[in-house]
Amino acid sequence: MTSEQIRQKFFDFFEKRGHKIVSSSSLIPDDPSVLLTTAGMQQFKKYYIGELNASKDFGSQRTVSIQKCFRTSDIEEVGDNTHLTFFEMLGNFSFGPIVPSADGDNPKDFGTSGYFKRVAIFWAYEFVTEVLEINSERITVSIFGGDSEKIENSVPFDEQSYNIWHKEMGLPKDKIICGKREDNFWGPTGDEGPCGPTTEIYVDGIEIWNLVFNEYYREKNGRLRKAENPGIDTGMGFERLTAVLQGVDDVFETDIFKDFVFKINEFIPGGERKIVKILADHLKASIFLTADGIRPSNKEAGYILRRLLRRILAYSVKCDIHADLFPESVDFMKAKFSRFYPELNNAKTILAVLEEERLKFQEAIGKGLKEMKKYDEIGVKEAFYLYETFGLPFELIKELARQKVKNLNKGEFEKEFAKEFEGHQEISRAGAEKKFGGHGLVLNTGELKAVNEEEMKKVIRFHTATHLLQWSLREVLGKDVRQTGSDINAERLRFDFSFNRKMTAEEIKKVEDLANEKINENLPVYFKEMSKSDAEKIGALAFFKAKYPDVVKVYFIGAEEKGNLISAEFCGGPHINNTSEIGKFKILKEEAVAAGIRRIRAIIE
Task: List residues near ligand SER by CB under 6 A.
Answer: 39-41, 91, 186, 210, 212, 233-235
Which residue number, 197 or 296, has a Cβ lying nearer to ligand SER?
197
Which residue number, 140 or 466, has a Cβ lying nearer to ligand SER?
140
Task: Provide, rounded to whole angstroms, the least separation between the CB of residue 212 and ligand SER.
Answer: 5
Task: Provide, rounded to whole angstroms, the least separation between the CB of residue 133 and ligand SER.
Answer: 23
Task: Provide, rounded to whole angstroms, the least separation between the CB of residue 120 and ligand SER.
Answer: 11
What is the rounded CA–CA span in Å between residue 479 and residue 333?
Answer: 22
What is the rounded CA–CA span in Å between residue 321 and residue 89?
Answer: 32
Task: Provide, rounded to whole angstroms, the least separation between the CB of residue 214 and ligand SER.
Answer: 9
* Residue 456 backbone zone (phi > 0: left; psi -120 to 50: alpha; other: beta): alpha
Which residue number, 217 or 260, has a Cβ lying nearer to ligand SER?
217
Task: Provide, rounded to whole angstroms, the least separation between the CB of residue 278 and ligand SER.
Answer: 23
Q: Peptide bond preceding 194: is omega within 30 degrees of 0, i.e. cis?
A: no
Which residue number, 212 or 582, has a Cβ lying nearer to ligand SER?
212
Which residue number, 234 or 579, has a Cβ lying nearer to ligand SER?
234
Task: Provide, rounded to whole angstroms, the least separation between the CB of residue 437 and ligand SER.
Answer: 27
What is the rounded CA–CA span in Å between residue 58 and residue 531?
Answer: 11
Task: Provide, rounded to whole angstroms, the least separation between the CB of residue 241 and ligand SER.
Answer: 13
Task: Provide, rounded to whole angstroms, the least separation between the CB of residue 41 and ligand SER.
Answer: 5
Instruction: Please answer whether residues 301 and 289 qualify as being in contact, where contact means their C-beta atoms are separated by less than 8 angstroms.
Output: yes
Which residue number, 117 or 494, has a Cβ lying nearer to ligand SER?
117
DSSP 403: T
Task: Provide, rounded to whole angstroms, the least separation between the CB of residue 426 and ligand SER.
Answer: 22
Which residue number, 146 or 235, has a Cβ lying nearer to ligand SER?
235
Which residue number, 207 or 331, has a Cβ lying nearer to ligand SER?
207
Task: Provide, rounded to whole angstroms, the least separation between the CB of residue 448 and ligand SER.
Answer: 31
Instruction: Please answer whether residues 116 and 99 qualify as being in contact, where contact means their C-beta atoms are separated by less than 8 angstroms.
Output: no
Task: Provide, rounded to whole angstroms, the least separation between the CB of residue 28 and ligand SER.
Answer: 18
Which residue number, 41 or 523, has a Cβ lying nearer to ligand SER?
41
Beta bridge mates, 497:
483, 598
Instruction: Please answer whether residues 177 and 158 qualify as being in contact, where contact means their C-beta atoms are separated by less than 8 angstroms.
Output: no
Strands 176-179 and 139-144, sheet pairing: parallel
How far is residue 603 from each of residues 318, 421, 465, measured CA to CA in Å? 49, 40, 9
What phi and psi values does residue 338 have, to the nearest 5 degrees? -70, -20
What is the rounded CA–CA span in Å between residue 165 and residue 159?
Answer: 10
Which residue number, 39 or 515, has a Cβ lying nearer to ligand SER?
39
What is the rounded CA–CA span in Å between residue 409 and residue 544?
Answer: 44
Helix (H) or strand (E) holding 602: strand 597-604
Beta bridge mates, 90:
66, 236
Which residue number, 235 or 393, has a Cβ lying nearer to ligand SER?
235
Which residue's CB comes closest to ligand SER? 235
Sign for the pseudo-dihedral over CA of 30, 36, 42, 44: positive
For 68-106, the DSSP string reads EEE-GGGGGGTTSSS--SEEEEEEEEE-S-B--BTTBS-
Q: Which residues, 6+ apart, have CB-to-CB distance to 467 below 8 Å?
A: 525, 555, 557, 567, 569, 571, 575
- Within 391-504, residue ranges assigned H as helices are 394-400, 412-436, 453-477
Which residue number, 124 or 456, has a Cβ lying nearer to ligand SER?
124
Task: Provide, rounded to whole angstroms, the least separation between the CB of residue 166 and ligand SER.
Answer: 23
Task: Provide, rounded to whole angstroms, the least separation between the CB of residue 89 and ligand SER.
Answer: 6
Which residue number, 212 or 344, has a Cβ lying nearer to ligand SER?
212
What is the rounded CA–CA span in Å between residue 19 and residue 319?
Answer: 48
Side-chain-side CA neighbours of residue 37 (13 Å): 30
Instruction: Please answer whether residues 210 and 200 qualify as being in contact, where contact means their C-beta atoms are separated by less than 8 angstroms.
Output: yes
